[in-house]
Amino acid sequence: MAKLEVLYNDSCPICRREISHYAGLSNNNVEFVKITEDTARDWGLTKDQAAQQIHARLGGKMSVGIDAFISVWERLPYYRLLASIIRWRPIRFTMNIVYRFVLAPLLFAMHKRRQRRQECSSTWQ
């Protein structure tokens, strides 16, 4: 099985904790890549586009959002069953809506707020 690459937002505490958990289970069959200007560009994205949702790439084919999570989960012990359940069309459809329109925008808004706070605190120092 080829190695899956996952682009994730390391500055997001929730994302970082989740990816750290996955990395501990991955048996080195998943490579977790932190978002930087260079890595985002390598994936054909801006840094903000990359931070808006999780992205996975396998053999040049990119998946985003729930499809990226499924790609990760099917390679991890304890998560394979979850991946097969979420692949079921009605559940996948619902999860896509929840992730794309609720969770991902919420996490991205929190990310942008953290960035603004860091910029403000650095200007006062």
- pLDDT for residue 1 is more than 90: no
What angle (nearest 5°) sits at the alpha carbon of residue 48, between those of residues 125 and 114? 35
**pLDDT value at residue 2:** 77
**pLDDT value at residue 117:** 87
Q: Tell me: the pLDDT tens digits for 45-93?
A: 999 999 999 999 999 899 999 999 999 999 999 999 999 999 999 999 9
Q: Return left, alpha or beta for 60; rule: phi > 0 is left, psi -120 to 50 is alpha, else beta.
A: left
Q: At how many degrees (to 10) do helices 66-73 and 89-98 cross?
A: 120
Give the whole-angstrom CA distance, residue 65 versus residue 114: 22
The model carries a pTM of 0.90
Provide the 3-class DSSP secondary structure of residue 3: coil
Q: Tell me: the pLDDT tens digits for 93-124?
A: 999 999 999 999 999 999 999 989 888 766 65
**CA distance between the termini of the chain:** 50
